[in-house]
Amino acid sequence: MGLPLKPLQGFGVPAESYGFANKQLAWETIAPVTQAAGTLRGTARDTIYEESGLNMPRADRTLDRMRSNPRDWRIASLETVATAHGVNIRKPGGSHEVFEHPGVAEAISVPARRPIKPVYVRRFVAFIEAVRASNE
């Protein structure tokens, strides 16, 4: 069907046909890059929060954002804040979730639809403040 191949012109892996002076394998190049990126990202975020006076846990920052703007929150955000404050979460099987704490007399029920209406977010923030007061 054509000319026979010479022994040196056979098919091979393209990486073997090129010569690089600083050839490194993937695991040698990717690890230093990801370590440096994680360090830079963490440092920048920490610096921003330290300068602004917001050096607090993520759940507390989320709670402050809920307090300032109770609109358009999802149930996952409420669950995160609740677990950070030691609140028990019950899902009785319906469309609501119940948040309860042994130090607070009343439990609150929040519909799991999204977005959660602002009235439920305000009740949740008041509940978390009562939990904080009972822990002190």
User: Which tens digit of pLDDT belongs to each residue from 56-98?
Assistant: 688 899 999 999 999 999 999 999 999 999 999 999 888 999 9
Distance between CA atoms of 26 and 77, rounded to whole angstroms?
38
Identify which has the larger pLDDT, 40 or 61: 61
Identity (one letter) of the amino acid at 84? A
User: Which tens digit of pLDDT belongs to each residue from 89-119?
Assistant: 999 888 999 999 999 999 999 998 888 999 9
Domain ranges of the chain: 23-55, 58-135
Does the predicted TM-score (pTM) go above 0.85? Answer: no
User: Which tens digit of pLDDT belongs to each residue from 3-23?
Assistant: 666 666 555 555 555 565 666
Distance between CA atoms of 134 and 104, rounded to whole angstroms?
7
Region of residue 93 (phi > 0: left; psi between -120 and 50: alpha; otherwise: beta): left
Distance between CA atoms of 87 and 51, rounded to whole angstroms?
31
Smallest CA-to-CA distance from 105 within 81, 80, 133, 125 is with 133
Predicted confidence at residue 80, as pLDDT, reads 93
